[in-house]
Structure 1
Amino acid sequence: MSSLDRMLNLLFASALASLSVAAAAQQAPFSAHSTFSEAGSEWTVFHHPIKTVAVIGAGPAGLQAAAKLVEHNFTVRLFDRAPSPGGNWFYTDETPVREPYPDRPFDEAPHIPESLPSTYYYEEGEEGITLEDRWKEHWQPRPLWDNLHTNSPAVITELPDVPYSTDRPWVLSNHDIQRHVRAYASFHNLNANDYQTDSRRAPVTSYSTRVDRLEKIESTQKWRLTLRKLERLQETNRIKADWWTEDFDAVVVATGPYVSPHVANIKGLVEWSKVKDGEQYSVYHSQSYRRPQRYENKTILVVGASVSASEIARDIAPYAQDVLASVRPHPNLHPFQLRSRLRFPDTTKFVPEIDHFGSLPAYNKGIKDATIHLVNGSVLRGIDEVILATGYIHSNNFLPNFTSDGQPANLHWTGHYIPDPTLAYTNVRPWTIGKYQSYAFAKVWEGTAHLPPQKQMQEDYDNAKYHFRGLFASAASEALFRQYVAWLNNESLINGGRFVEPWPVEKREVFVYYSEVEWIKGYVNLGNFTDFETLPAREWDSARVAWDAIVYEDTEW
C-alpha cells in the first residue's frame, strides 16, 4: 500500500469516526464532548490556561504522559520515588522494607517539617531504623522476581517509538520489559541521567522523589505538591533528605496499582509474623520473593491463587520438597483468573482457606513444629515457610479523591477527575490505550479537545454510562479503543491536531492466537467480536470479550 493510499484510508477512517460521534450525539448526552464548567457553558472552562503539569510516577503510563505533554509544549515535571524509571518493571535484587502486620492504616500521613523548604541528615540507626531500611522505605523496591515473565504477548506489552526486535519471543521476561521501558525513557530524554539542553528550564525528571502531599490552592487554583527527595551520602554514611513544594496548573497521577502490600486478617498471623528461623522470617509477603534456590528441600505454603501465587509456585517447585497452596473457593472466575489457577505446577497440593494460625512455642525456631488450622477442620504441620501472595492495596493517601478501598472516585472515562479536570489519572492499560489517553490529556489541557460540562460528566458517571469501572482492572474492551479514536479524531477535525489510528489488525491476530495457546482454548470466539457496539451500555457480565484481557490488571498479582 502506498503512502497516499494509507493517508486516504486514515482520512476516511477519521471521517467515519467523526460521523459516528455526530450520530451518537443525537442519541446520548455523552457524545457532544464539550469541557470545568461554568453556568450555561457548552463545555468545561478552566480557571486559567494550563501551562505547567506534574506527572507522578515514571512507569509505562507516566512516561508516556510526560513525553506527550512535553511534545505539546507544556512545562513538565516528572516525579518518581525510585532512582530510575520503570515503575513496577524496575527490577532490583533489593527487597522492600518488611510489610506491616496488620496492614498500615490507609490514611497514615508521612512526616513533613513545619517549615519548607527543609533539609535533614539521617544517621545510621536513628529512630531505630537502619539507613538501608530508610532508603528502601522511601523508594520501595518493586515486587518483581528474577524469573518473572509477562502473562501477555509482546504485541500488547509494547510502548510506541521503541519496538522490540522482530525475532523477540512473544512471552517477555521482566528484564526485557525493563530494558524496553528504559529505552522509551531515554528516547524521550526522561531517563535518570538525562538532562535538558535548554538550561533556562527546570529539568523534567526528579527521581528518588516522593510526593508526600497534594493540595489545591484556592487563591491561585493551582495544585501544590509537597515533595521529599533522598540522597545517599556514601562518604559520610548518611542520608540527605530535602523537602520542598512546587505548584502546577494540572497533575497526572500515574502511580500504578501495586502500592502497598496487603496481609490477610487471619487470627494468629500477627504473632506468626514475628517468627524467624535464623536470620530469615518464616512468614512474609510475596513482594520479597526474588529467587527459588533458597527453597531447596523445604515445604512451602503459598497463600493465594492469583498471578504471583501461581507463578512463584512454578518457580520454586523444582527446588522445594513440597508446595502447598491455600486457595479460597471462587464460583465465577474470569478466564484470566482461571489461567492463574491452571498455571500452578501439577505437583501443587491444594488446601482450603486458613482459619487460624496455632500457638507458637518460640519466636526463634521457625514454624515447622507449629500448626495451621484450615476452615474444613484439618491441620497442617511441617511447613517451613509461608509466602503470602495476598495482593496489594492502593494507599496513595496524598490524593484528594481516594475512597476507603483505595480506589479513586468520580473519574471521567478519559481519566479526568470530574469535580476538577485539572487532575487526571492514568486509568487504562498503558501498553495499549496509554498513548491515546496521554494524547487526550494534552489535547484537553491545550484546548484542542473538550470534555462535557461537569454536571453532565457526573450524571454519566452516576448512571454508569460510558463509565469503565475500576482504575486498573477489567471492564474495558475494544469499545474503549474505538471511543478514544472517534473522540480524538473528531476533536482534531474541529479544533486541530493530528489524527490517531485504531489498533493494528495484525496485532489483534497475534493476540487471538496467543490467547488460544497460552490462556484458555476457545477464549476467543465469534461472539467475542460481534458485541463491541453495545458493550459500554451493558453490565460487564457474559460480554467478557477478548479485549478485556488487554486492559485487565490483576491487583492481587
Structure 2
Amino acid sequence: MVNDTSSSVILDSQGKPNDKPAMIDKTLPQVIKETTTEAQAALDDPFNFEYSIKTVAVVGAGPSGLVAAKALLEQGFKVQVFERNSKVGGIWVFTEPAENELYIPTGTEKQQDWLENDGNKAPPCDHSSGETQTTNTEEIEQWLQNHHHPATACYYDLTNNTSTPYLGSLEFPWPDGTPYFVSHSAVQNYYQNYVTHFGLNEHIQLNTALDNLVKRGNQWELTLTRATTTGDEQVSIHQYQAAFDGVVLATGQFQTPVMPIMDGLQEYASLFPGKVIHSKQFKRTDDLENKNVLVVGGRVSAVDIARFASTIAKRVHMAYRGPFITGVFILDLIRSVLPESVIHKPGIEGFWSKNAETGETEVDGTVTFTDGSTLSDIDIIIFATGYRSKHTYFGRSRTWAADEDKKNGDRFTARVDPDSPLIIMDDRIVYNTYKDIFLISDPTLAFVGAPRHITTTPFFDYQAQAIARVWSQAALLPSKSKMVEFSLARTEVCAVYRMDHESERLRSQTLLPWLNLHASKLVPDLHLPTLEGPPDTMEAVWARSIVLYPEFVKDQTQAIALEYQRRRMEHLDI
C-alpha cells in the first residue's frame, strides 16, 4: 500500500514501511498518453451509430447497475432497470435458502463444455397466456430457488474488506463516522439509500430475470420473467418481451459457482449427498458446528469461511495450491488473518484412496492430497473456488474464446445475426469488447462492472460515465477497425491483482482523459463536469485500512466465537 501523499512510502502486509519500489508497469504520464492517443483516433476516425439511442435497459441493480442507471438518467435517457432479486445491492443482499443444485464436472470434461449445454430454464407452468397465478408447488419452488432468483453469494457473517470510504460511489460518500468495515446489511442499506438519494426507485423493477437477449432490427429484444410470491402460497409468474435501443449488462461476477474438474469428485459427491458444497451455498457459520471441515481454495472466501469455521467446528483444514505467501500484496494481507488452528493442506490429487501396491483408486470418502497425505473423516467440503460469468441469456450466440479467437480481429467485428456468435468469451471475460465495456460488433450493447483486473467499485462510475457519454454523443468511439486494433494491442497498466490507491488512479486514466477531451471538443456548450480520478486524500485511506483490517478481523472472529459459546451455555442451562 502507498502511505500518505507526501512520502509515497510503500507499506508491507503489517502496515510497516517496505523499501521495495512499487510494482507499476506504466507511469501515469504513459497511461494518459496512451488514452489520449486512442481518444484522438476516435475524433479522426469515429464509429458512427446507425441510429440514436433513447431507451436503455440496465440488467442488474447491484453496485455497477445502479451507477449505470444514474449516469444514463443524467444524460436524458429513458432507463429501465431489471433486477431478479427482491432488493437492490447485488452480492450484498443476504438471501436464503441457498441453491441446492450444484453442477460438478466429470474428470473427462473440458472447461468449455458447459457453454454448449447451458441455457435458462423456463418456469414449470403454463405461462403462454401472459401472467399466471399458480400454487407454489415444490417444483416451482425449486425453479425459483435455483434458476429465477437463486440466493446471492452473500453469507451471514460477510463484511466488506475494501474500506467503506472506497466502497460504493465517491459521489455518494458514506455518513461521517462510519467504521471502515461493516456488515453486509449495512452495505445493502447504503445502496438502498443511493437509490433513494438519486431518485432511481421508479426506474427499477425487482423480481425480474432476463431469460433471453437478441437483436432484432434496430432494437434489443429482452425476454423477461417476473415472479413474485404472495403470502397465501401463490406465485405470480409473468414472462414477456420488451425492446430497447441500448442494453447495459451489469449482472456481476459472482453468479455461477465454479467447481473444478477433479478426479473422483463427481462420484464422491454422488456417494455422499450434501457433503460437497460451493461457498455460494454456505450461508451460516452455525451449520459447521462440531464438524470436521475441509475448505478448498486460498482466496478471500476461503479464508473467511475457514476462520468462521474455526470458531465452531471440531477441526478445519484448508487446501490450496502453491505457497502460503504469494507475493501478491492484497492476497497475503487477507491470508495473514487466518487463525493458527486452521490446518494447511496442499492441493488435492483425488477424491479417493489409493492402493500403494497396485495404484488402484477407490472412492470411499477419502481425500488424497498431492503430498500423499489423506483425510477420511471430513463431514463437509466447501469449495471456495470462484465464479464464472455465463451470460446465459445469449444462449448459442456465445462461443468459447479459443486462443486463436482472442487474436482474431475478424471475429471481433462479426456481423450480428442469429447464426453468428455475438460474444467471444471464456468463464471470466468477454473478449470482443472495447475497454471491457462496448461490444465491438455492436456498441449499443455494453458491459459494466466486469473489468479484467481486480478493482474497487468507484471504477464502475467511470465505466458508467463512458457508456452514458458515448451513447449521448458527448464522446466518440474509434471505428470498428481501430477498436479492434487497440483491443488486440492492449496491455494492463499494472498487475491485474494489484489493489491500492496508485493502481486505482492508473486505471481511472484509461477512461477519463478520453471522456474529458471529447466533452471539451464535441459538446463545449454543455459544460459537462470534468471527471476526476480518486482524490489524493484516498491514499491515506488505503494506508489506514491495511492497519485496521487485521485488527477488525481479529475482533470479529472473537465476537463470533463468544456468541457461539454464549448460545451453547444457554442451551446447556435448558
How high is the TM-score relative to the length of structure 2?
0.74
Q: Report deviation, 1:341.
A: 2.9
Structure 1 segments unaligned to the other structure (5+ residues): 1-19, 36-40, 196-203, 360-367, 521-557
- Match of 1:81, as an amino acid? R
SS of the residue 1:61 aligns to: helix
Q: Is the 8 A contact 1:257 1:472 kept in 2?
A: no
RMSD over aligned CA atoms reads 3.4
1:260-316 C-alpha deviation (Å, 9 max, x unpaired): 11112222222332456xxx8222111122222232322111111111110111112
Q: Is the 8 A contact 2:440 2:483 kept in 1?
A: yes
Partner of 1:512: 543
Query: Structure 1 residue 99 and structure 2 residue 102: aligned?
Result: yes
| Percent identical | 25
Q: Return 472-481 or 322-331, whichever deviates more.
A: 472-481
Q: 1:306-385 to 2 correspondence within 5 Å? A: 306-329=299-322, 333-358=327-352, 370-385=365-380
Q: Return 441-450 or 471-480, whichever deviates more.
A: 471-480
Q: Is the 8 A contact 1:60 1:430 kept in 2?
A: no
Query: Structure 1 residue 206 and structure 2 residue 211: aligned?
Result: no
Partner of 2:411: none
- Match of 1:338, as an amino acid? D
SS of the residue 1:294 aligns to: helix
Q: Is the 8 A contact 2:120 2:392 kept in 1?
A: no
Query: Structure 1 residue 142 and structure 2 residue 173: aligned?
Result: no
Q: Is the 8 A contact 2:209 2:225 kept in 1?
A: yes
Instruction: Please give the alpha-carbon distance, in whole angstroms, between the structure 2 residues aligned to 1:287 and 1:262.
Output: 10
Q: Is the 8 A contact 2:164 2:181 kept in 1?
A: yes
Q: 1:169-318 to 2 correspondence within 5 Å? A: 169-190=179-200, 194-195=201-202, 204-217=203-216, 220-235=217-232, 237-274=233-270, 281-318=274-311
Task: Name the count of aligned residue pairs.
Answer: 469
The one of 506, 525, 531 aligned to 1:479: 506
Q: Return 207-216 or 135-144, whichever deviates more.
A: 135-144
SS of the residue 1:229 aligns to: strand
- Match of 1:482, as an amino acid? Q
Instruction: Please give the alpha-carbon distance, in whole angstroms, between the structure 2 residues aligned to 1:268 and 1:466.
Output: 38
Instruction: Please give the alpha-carbon distance, in whole angstroms, between the structure 1 residues aligned to 2:330 and 2:270.
Output: 35
Partner of 1:167: 177
Instruction: Please give the alpha-carbon distance, in whole angstroms, between the structure 2 residues aligned to 1:231 and 1:56.
Output: 18
Instruction: Please give the alpha-carbon distance, in whole angstroms, between the structure 2 residues aligned to 1:345 and 1:162.
Output: 36
Instruction: Please give the alpha-carbon distance, in whole angstroms, between the structure 1 residues aligned to 2:495 and 2:293.
Output: 36
Q: Is the 8 A contact 2:166 2:456 kept in 1?
A: no
1:515-549 C-alpha deviation (Å, 9 max, x unpaired): 366489xxxxxxxxxxxxxxxxxxxxxxxxxxxxx
| Structure (1/2) with the larger helix percentage | 2
Instruction: Please give the alpha-carbon distance, in whole angstroms, between the structure 1 residues aligned to 2:146 and 2:119.
Output: 18
- Match of 1:257, as an amino acid? Q
Instruction: Please give the alpha-carbon distance, in whole angstroms, between the structure 1 residues aligned to 2:301 and 2:77.
Output: 39
Q: Report deviation, 1:376.
A: 2.1
Q: Report deviation, 1:79.
A: 0.8
Seen in structure 2, the aligned counterparts of structure 1 residues 116 and 76 have a Cα distance that, compared at 3 Å, is farther
Q: Report deviation, 1:354.
A: 1.6
Q: Report deviation, 1:85.
A: 0.7
The one of 418, 425, 432 aligned to 2:447: 425
Seen in structure 2, the aligned counterparts of structure 1 residues 430 and 442 have a Cα distance that, compared at 3 Å, is farther
- Match of 1:214, as an amino acid? L
Q: Is the 8 A contact 1:260 1:395 kept in 2?
A: yes
The one of 408, 417, 427 aligned to 2:430: 408
- Match of 1:210, as an amino acid? A
- Match of 1:34, as an amino acid? A
Q: Report deviation, 1:92.
A: 2.5
Instruction: Please give the alpha-carbon distance, in whole angstroms, between the structure 1 residues aligned to 2:341 and 2:328.
Output: 24
Instruction: Please give the alpha-carbon distance, in whole angstroms, between the structure 1 residues aligned to 2:333 and 2:285.
Output: 22
SS of the residue 2:307 aligns to: helix
SS of the residue 1:505 aligns to: coil
Q: Is the 8 A contact 2:63 2:168 kept in 1?
A: no
SS of the residue 2:469 aligns to: helix
SS of the residue 2:241 aligns to: strand
SS of the residue 2:56 aligns to: strand
- Match of 2:317, as an amino acid? L
Q: Is the 8 A contact 1:56 1:253 kept in 2?
A: yes
Instruction: Please give the alpha-carbon distance, in whole angstroms, between the structure 2 residues aligned to 1:468 and 1:398.
Output: 33
Q: Is the 8 A contact 2:60 2:249 kept in 1?
A: yes
Instruction: Please give the alpha-carbon distance, in whole angstroms, between the structure 1 residues aligned to 2:143 and 2:391.
Output: 20
Instruction: Please give the alpha-carbon distance, in whole angstroms, between the structure 2 residues aligned to 1:322 and 1:45.
Output: 62
- Match of 1:419, as an amino acid? S
1:149-188 C-alpha deviation (Å, 9 max, x unpaired): 2111112113245422221111222121111111112223
Query: Structure 1 residue 392 and structure 2 residue 423: aligned?
Result: no
SS of the residue 1:148 aligns to: coil
Instruction: Please give the alpha-carbon distance, in whole angstroms, between the structure 2 residues aligned to 1:121 and 1:275.
Output: 39
Q: Report deviation, 1:371.
A: 1.7
Seen in structure 2, the aligned counterparts of structure 1 residues 490 and 248 have a Cα distance that, compared at 3 Å, is same
Instruction: Please give the alpha-carbon distance, in whole angstroms, between the structure 1 residues aligned to 2:538 and 2:214.
Output: 42
Partner of 1:536: none
Q: Report deviation, 1:334.
A: 2.2
Q: Report deviation, 1:411.
A: 1.7
Q: Report deviation, 1:33.
A: 5.0
Q: Is the 8 A contact 1:298 1:321 kept in 2?
A: yes
The one of 472, 492, 504 aligned to 1:446: 472
- Match of 2:224, as an amino acid? L
Instruction: Please give the alpha-carbon distance, in whole angstroms, between the structure 2 residues aligned to 1:238 and 1:468.
Output: 52
- Match of 1:374, as an amino acid? F
SS of the residue 1:310 aligns to: helix
Q: Report deviation, 1:102.
A: 2.9
Q: Return 294-303 or 508-517, whichever deviates more.
A: 508-517
Q: Is the 8 A contact 1:138 1:210 kept in 2?
A: yes
Q: 1:5-24 to 2 correspondence within 5 Å? A: 24=33
SS of the residue 1:167 aligns to: coil
Instruction: Please give the alpha-carbon distance, in whole angstroms, between the structure 2 residues aligned to 1:478 and 1:32.
Output: 22
- Match of 1:256, as an amino acid? G
Q: Report deviation, 1:116.
A: 6.6
How high is the TM-score relative to the length of structure 1?
0.76
Instruction: Please give the alpha-carbon distance, in whole angstroms, between the structure 2 residues aligned to 1:469 and 1:456.
Output: 25
Partner of 2:84: 81
Q: Return 46-55 or 170-179, whichever deviates more.
A: 170-179
Seen in structure 2, the aligned counterparts of structure 1 residues 430 and 60 have a Cα distance that, compared at 3 Å, is farther
Instruction: Please give the alpha-carbon distance, in whole angstroms, between the structure 2 residues aligned to 1:249 and 1:184.
Output: 26
Q: Is the 8 A contact 2:317 2:345 kept in 1?
A: yes
Q: Report deviation, 1:470.
A: 8.1
1:111-142 C-alpha deviation (Å, 9 max, x unpaired): 4599977444555556xx25255345311111
Query: Structure 1 residue 31 and structure 2 residue 39: aligned?
Result: yes
SS of the residue 1:77 aligns to: strand
Instruction: Please give the alpha-carbon distance, in whole angstroms, between the structure 2 residues aligned to 1:414 and 1:308.
Output: 25
Instruction: Please give the alpha-carbon distance, in whole angstroms, between the structure 1 residues aligned to 2:516 and 2:436.
Output: 14
